Chains A and B, each alone.
Chain A
């Protein structure tokens, strides 16, 4: 197992390099785009888009009859945009709260997807469709062309964020002020949602619909615990996403379960990144749990020491502290 792990991490053969290029760049893009969603409080919408991808892929298969990747992903993209469009439309027009609304969309979309998937699989020749790979991902079987596509799209996504960095920061932080300053906040929001859709779609073959959201959210959360600066947060999130994706892929290929099969790629990547996240939330100096606990202890000790000094000083001055002679105060 360790040999294989090492082999994968050092990327000795070209198949591995291909796969790592694909998942690595995907991880970076998801980490960066995820920051925008998390800070804009739109993380759940990313979830809806990802779950809508399943019916999108199925409908595309039924309509076009193609098992080629591109038309399937196009279906996923359209479905994602429709789902986010429905959410945006319903938002102002119903009393249902945001989180419940999105949960409904997620449930309905995925249910439609499963129904379609099952009916496709039961049809003659259906269970060779490989569509269920879109639920959990199959990064290890990524071919060179796919990896290059993923890398190019990921690079484009990151480039857009870098180019519009100032606007993203402004709109994400204070959309009302941005609007009053004349910025087209609606357009920027649309752009961010579109980037989430593209990110989801591009990660579908590798990581699957269920895990892609975690790949976007968890690096952002991890990054936030290390820095108070927006720009640094984007960099750390990208790094965590990319590194986690590479290590997770390596682990999934080299670790064998008791029955001898390898671990599924998507969930293993997510678990790797999650481990980093837990470590960060616990250990990070500024905002970590451990640091907070230590600070609290130090402060408590200082306060108790201060109180002890005051009491000692009061004893010397012969002043009585405490409500009555019978209480546990100091007596003259």
Chain B
């Protein structure tokens, strides 16, 4: 069974997604679509279900209900077109692999489980490493990298997947300014190629600058759509609650969006 929107325009379609641990719901009755070719931010307070949304969509978590379609199909039919950049904490960085090893793991969907690395795989890996600016560190063991560099390794692995849709869990968390700029450039490059990025983002100040689409979550969906339409004071108030500092930040962010 495929989703309603099978046209090329929709990258992700989610219906009735509900996720709960014990008795506490983390996501409740979420319905949304994300068009293809956009950079979409997933924003909301802590515990709002942002990471859960991505993990549930990718089948990494159990759900109570919900269907998710990618380009109008079920995940297993289009796995190769979907890439994932998890949070940095999800991995033991002392593992004995180099930058190049990790990026090559992104080619697993192309080479298959038993396949050897072919020329096209090696080239894709080199390209990805170059795009994130880690050329000099390609043989370095990953534990010897800085936080920003580690984030770039994960990004390079995703780029090597050559997917059409990317899910990223806090790609800008704890990275230095130059890495942040580098990542934004990569994301914009992906959009130019017609690919889609859905990224959990925590910094309201930069939403309108980096992204053109937004999903506001607070266990329930508050809003989803173009940043200009959805990133309003009223929506942010409903997402974050009446917390003053957050609203001030939001106010500044909206002012910036208006200027942009």
Asked whether, in the complex, the Cβ of B105 is within 8 Å of the Cβ of A173, the reply is: yes
- Do B98 and A228 touch across chains, with their CB atoms under 8 A apart? yes
Q: Which of B71-120 contact A (CB under 8 A)?
A: 76, 79, 82, 84, 86, 90-92, 95-98, 101-102, 105, 108-109, 113-114
Residues facing B in A219-253 (CB within 8 A) are: 224, 227-230, 232-233
Q: Which residues of B contact A169 (CB under 8 A)?
A: 97, 101, 105
Beyond A166-B108, A167-B113, A181-B79, whether A176 also contacts B90 by CB under 8 A is yes
B63 touches A (CB below 8 Å): no
Q: Is the CB of B86 within 8 A of A173?
A: no
Across the interface, which residues of B come within 8 angstroms of A181, CB to CB?
79, 84, 108-109, 161
With a cutoff of 8 Å between Cβ atoms, the chain A residues found around residue B84 in the complex are 176-177, 180-181
Binding site of B, secondary structure by majority: helix, strand, loop or mixed? mixed
Contacts A166-B113, A170-B108; A180 near B90 (Cβ below 8 A): no
Q: How many A-B Cβ pairs are below 8 Å?
A: 70
Q: List the B side residues contacting A176 at CB < 8 Å.
A: 55, 60, 84, 86, 90
Contact with A along B46-64 (1 / 0, CB 8 A): 0000000001001110000
Q: Which among B60, B102, B141 is the interface contact of A180 at CB below 8 angstroms?
A: B60
Considering the complex, give the chain B residue whose CB is closest to the CB of A231: B96
A residues less than 8 Å from B109 (CB atoms): 181-182
Distance of A121 Cα from B117 Cα, bound (Å): 57
Instruction: Report how far A163 CA is from B113 CA in the complex, Å.
Output: 10
Which of A180, A183, A232 is B82 in contact with, Cβ under 8 Å? Answer: A180
Interface residues of A in 9-67 (CB under 8 A from B): 39, 41
Alpha-carbon distance between A117 and B23 when the two chains are bound, in angstroms? 45
List 25 A–B pairs whose Cβ atoms lie within 8 Å, in order of A's numbering: A41-B92, A163-B114, A167-B113, A169-B97, A169-B101, A170-B105, A172-B95, A173-B91, A173-B95, A173-B105, A174-B105, A176-B60, A177-B86, A177-B105, A179-B58, A179-B60, A180-B58, A182-B76, A182-B109, A183-B108, A229-B96, A230-B95, A230-B97, A230-B101, A232-B96
Overall SS of chain A's interface: helix
Give the chain B neighbours of A170 by CB distance below 8 A.
105, 108
Expressed in whole angstroms, the minimum distance between the Cβ of A113 and any Cβ of chain B is 33
Q: How far is the CA of A183 from the CA of B58 in the complex (A)?
A: 12
Residues of B close to A163: CB separation below 8 A: 114
Which residues does chain A contribute within 8 Å of B108, judged by CB atoms?
A: 166, 170, 178, 181, 183
CB distance from A264 to the nearest CB of B (A): 33
CB of A230 within 8 A of CB of B96, answer yes
| B111 shortest CB reach to chain A, Å | 8
Bound-complex Cα distance A174 to B150 (A): 14
Chain A min CB distance to B244 (Å): 36
The answer to whether the Cβ of B157 comes within 8 Å of any Cβ in the partner chain is: yes
| Distance in angstroms between the alpha carbons of A153 and B113 in the assembled complex | 24
User: Is the beta-carbon distance between A224 and B90 smaller than 8 angstroms?
Assistant: no
A227 / chain B contacts, CB cutoff of 8 Å? 96
Bound CA span A172–B105, Å = 12
Residues of B within 8 A of A41 (CB): 92
A37 to chain B, nearest CB (A): 14
Contact bitstring A57-85, B, C-beta under 8 A = 1, else 0: 00000000000000000000000000000
A228 near B96: Cβ-Cβ < 8 Å: yes
How many angstroms from the CA of A174 to the CA of B102 in the assembled complex? 10
- Selected from A164, A179, A224, A232, the residue in CB contact (under 8 A) with B59 is A179
A167 to B114, CA, bound (A): 8
CB contacts (< 8 Å) of A224 on chain B: these are 96
Q: Which of A164, A166, A228 contacts B141 (CB 8 A)?
A: A228
